[in-house]
Amino acid sequence: MELFDNLALGFGVAFTLQNLMYAFVGCLLGTLIGVLPGIGPLATIAMLLPATYALPPVAALIMLAGIYYGAQYGGSTTAILVNLPGESSSVVTVIDGYQMARNGRAGPALAAAGMGSFFAGCVGTLILAAFAAPLTELAFKFGPAEYFSLMILGLIGAVVLASGSLIKAVAMIVLGLLLGMVGTDVNSGVARFSFDVAELTDGIGFIVIAMGVFGYGEIISNLSKHESEREVFTATVSGLMPTKEDFKNMIPAVLRGTALGSLLGILPGGGAVMAAFAAYTLEKKTKLRPGEVPFGKGNIRGVAAPEAANNAGAQTSFIPLLTLGIPPNAVMALMVGAMTIHNIQPGPQVMTSNPELFWGLIASMWIGNLMLVILNLPLIGIWIKLLSVPYRWLFPSIVLFCAIGVYSTNNTTFDIWMVGIFGFIGYIFIKLGAEPAPLLLGFILGPMMEEYLRRALLLSRGDWTVFVTRPLSASLLAASAVLLAIVLMPSVKAKREEAFVED
Amino acid sequence: MNIKSQKDFFSGLMFMAVGIAFAWGASGYTIGNGARMGPGYFPLVLGVLLAVLGAVITFKALVVETVDGDKIGSFAWKPLVFIIAANLVFGAALGGLPSIGLPPMGLIVGIFALTFIASNAGEEFNFKEVTILAIILAILSYAAFILLLKLQFPVWPTFIKS
């Protein structure tokens, strides 16, 4: 079987002592930063990205994947223990997880999250490996018109599934696309919107935007809340193992969560957040067994299912990135940035031209998931200690790491001035209730979209119908239209708003 | 006319202003046509689109009723100013500011400056505590970034080194 040959190649790459080390360090650092309340995977990856610059590309990507999983897992730990989602995909974990912790069952909740994530991660990795080859084949049939339509679908998917106001999310995407225009135009060599600043002719660094908007913006907004609003659960966690009864409830929930998560992760715009929401809603719809704790009161299924789903979704959202080169969500957009820094252009050619990297990365995803379980269950005590560190010591450290990270990207102070500006802008966004994640996605996709649009119209001699006359492109656009129509239907609209408000 | 949603009203205004600014800027570049797009084409379209979206958002904010008026609330000026300032001072310390004749002071001085300024953003400021925190951060950063990751940073002020 080709699949197993490929996986064997991947494990051959990933199982070197060096790469195992990087996976381990990535998971450790990711969890360490991800555990801090208010810092999601986006900020964590942005912050830790500079640490991978000096590494060879394979090792760097393995470490980044580790950081991503670690950050996600760290987020669930915070959700369960602090009643504060460390990131948006653990928003639903908070509901039952924190209640379990209050009932003295933090241990089983953490274990359920860990084991559920691990199982989902294994399945997600297999799906990724199985689908990568056929999807790559498909990708080679894509012309510029198809790519453009696919990006439209991706962007629409991202706003449809995002929380909050739809039109504001669209506006944020367009704003992101525009910010992506800053810098030298590849076709004409004109430096656009650079105001004669030499540094701006290379465009705005995505690290600067990610760190400013997500890092500083969040810190400022966290600081403006009063200390008493942050309730930290510091009681000792004892008895990690779930009971037999717990397992009975957990296993089907994990299976459902995994299936749902894998599916939603592949969809553009889907990814971890939507997967977690959908899984929780599904669990709430299934009947309670006699004697089971109701949802919202500390039901273990309410932890296991969304955690499994968000991990499966996190895993399968790599599929569009690795096969088509199109990031389906903001975290993957960051991964694109990371890959370009290492001179890898994500897309179908990665698998053929760089099979060690491709399969090595996939294998290391599984290893990363395994490490999370090994790492986190025994180290839970340390994370809890970290959570009880006062915020007044934490935030200067976070500010410092952000500043060092930004500076080390290009070794110029210009980036530090820029991040200051974007920190301010990020805080404004938070104040205005405009979600910044679509902005980052738009920012990464902006130059790509312009390029594909240009090529498509150049080939068609300016004929816009090319997008609907080519069947693949037409079906992608049709899918986006359907998606948009569904969300705008009054009944779905009400449901959607309800689903995101609910807690 | 009352503003029904303050957040939406002002974010709509922001989108409109930014969209118009980008569209106006783009009109200064060659626009071209569909088949031969100039550098101004795509940004112009996007800028106009953003301005239109902003207008719709603003309009909705004036018309659609909300429960609590979606107040923006007061700005947290203190954390905002201190966090951003800490960051800027760190940059100035690290790389120096030739325009005002400030030589590069290096990482360690930068860390102390950043920690002291940033700590002001919190609710309490304890000089002893902040000093200890700054020392710990300086040692850790030196070990992690300079010794372990071998990043190319100026560590000490240039006038000491030379």
Is residue B83 domain-resident?
Answer: yes
Same domain for B139 and B109: yes
A216 contacts chain B (CB < 8 A): yes
Alpha carbon distance A57, A269 (integer Å): 26
Q: Is-contact A351 A133, C-beta < 8 A?
A: yes
Give the pLDDT confidence of A374-404 residue by residue, as tens digits.
877 777 777 777 777 777 787 888 888 888 8
Work out the minimum CA distance from A464 to partner chain B, whole angstroms. 8
Q: Is-contact A417 B88, C-beta < 8 A?
A: yes
Is residue B72 domain-resident?
Answer: no
| Inter-chain residue contact A457 with B35, CB threshold 8 Å | yes
Same domain for B145 and B93: yes
Domains: count for chain B: 2
Most confident of A169-178, A354-363, B64-73, B113-122: A169-178
| Inter-chain residue contact B94 with A413, CB threshold 8 Å | yes
- Domain that includes residue B11, residue range: 6-63
Q: Which residues contact A70 (CB under 8 A, 6 or more apart)?
A: A26, A27, A28, A29, A30, A31, A32, A34, A44, A368, A372
Is residue A237 domain-resident?
Answer: no
A484 contacts chain B (CB < 8 A): no
Give the pLDDT confidence of A412-431 residue by residue, as tens digits.
888 888 888 998 998 898 88
Return the residue of A nearest to B49 by Cα. Answer: A174
DSSP A71-106: HHHHHHHHHHHHSS-SSGGGHHHHHHHHHHHHTT-H
- Mutate: best of A55, A151, A168, A429, partner B, most B CBs <10 A: A168
Nearest to B72 among A395, A420, A432 (CB): A432
Work out the minimum CA distance from B45 to partner chain A, whole angstroms. 10
Tokens of A3: 């699949």
Q: Is-contact A84 A229, C-beta < 8 A?
A: no
pLDDT at position A162 is 61
Nearest to A220 among B83, B129, B145 (CB): B83
pLDDT at position A235 is 55
Per-residue pLDDT band for B146 (boundaries 50, 70, 90) equals confident
Is residue B71 domain-resident?
Answer: no
Tell which wins on pLDDT, B51 or B106.
Answer: B51
Nearest to A171 among B57, B88, B152 (CB): B57
pLDDT at position B55 is 93
CB pairs under 8 A between A and B: 195
Q: What is the mean pLDDT of residues A193-203?
A: 78
Give the pLDDT confidence of A244-296 residue by residue, as tens digits.
777 778 888 888 889 888 887 776 655 666 777 778 878 877 777 777 777 77
Q: What is the mean pLDDT of residues A446-462?
A: 86
Is residue B131 domain-resident?
Answer: yes
pLDDT at position A14 is 75
B104 contacts chain A (CB < 8 A): no
Same domain for B92 and B57: no
Give the pLDDT confidence of A328-361 residue by residue, as tens digits.
777 787 888 888 888 888 777 877 787 888 888 8
The answer to whether residue A179 scores a pLDDT higher than 50 is yes
pLDDT at position A493 is 62
Per-residue pLDDT band for A228 (boundaries 50, 70, 90) equals low
Is the C-alpha dihedral spanning A386, A387, A391, A394 positive or negative?
positive
Q: What is the mean pLDDT of residues A217-222?
A: 76
Q: What is the mean pLDDT of residues A234-240?
A: 60
The answer to whether residue B17 scores a pLDDT higher than 90 is yes
Give the pLDDT confidence of A98-156 residue by residue, as tens digits.
788 777 777 888 888 888 888 888 898 888 888 877 877 777 778 888 888 888 887 88
A501 contacts chain B (CB < 8 A): no
pLDDT at position A502 is 40
pTM of the full structure: 0.79
Nearest to A223 among B79, B94, B129 (CB): B79
Is residue A434 domain-resident?
Answer: yes
Extended strands (E) in A125-274: 183-184, 191-192
Same domain for B153 and B84: yes
B123 contacts chain A (CB < 8 A): yes
Is residue B69 domain-resident?
Answer: no
pLDDT at position A503 is 36
Nearest to B114 among A190, A403, A417 (CB): A403
The answer to whether residue A198 scores a pLDDT higher than 50 is yes
Q: Which of A17-21, B3-7, B149-153 has the lowest mean pLDDT?
A: B149-153
Is residue A238 domain-resident?
Answer: no
Same domain for B108 and B51: no
pLDDT at position A178 is 92
Is residue B11 domain-resident?
Answer: yes
Domains: count for chain A: 1
Work out the minimum CA distance from B69 to partner chain A, whole angstroms. 12
Q: What is the mean pLDDT of residues A405-415?
A: 79
The answer to whether residue A500 scores a pLDDT higher than 60 is no
Q: For residue A345, give the H/E element and its range.
A: none
Q: How many CB atoms lie within 10 A of CB A413?
A: 21
- Domain that includes residue A383, residue range: 2-230+243-501
Alpha carbon distance A29, A22 (integer Å): 10
Same domain for B49 and B89: no
Is residue B153 domain-resident?
Answer: yes
DSSP A3-46: HHHHHHHHHHHHTSHHHHHHHHHHHHHHHHHHHSTT--HHHHHH
Give the pLDDT confidence of B74-90 residue by residue, as tens digits.
777 888 888 888 888 88
Is residue A235 domain-resident?
Answer: no
H helix and E strand count, chain A: 23, 2
**Is the ipTM above a cut-off of 0.85?**
yes
Question: B-contacting residues of A 441-480, CB under 8 Å?
Answer: 449-450, 453-454, 457-458, 460-464
The answer to whether residue A467 scores a pLDDT higher than 70 is yes
Per-residue pLDDT band for B50 (boundaries 50, 70, 90) equals very high
The answer to whether residue B58 scores a pLDDT higher than 60 is yes
> Comparing C-alpha atoms, which of A377, A287, A309, A295 is closest to residue A100?
A295
The answer to whether residue B19 scores a pLDDT higher than 90 is yes
Count of residues in chain A: 503
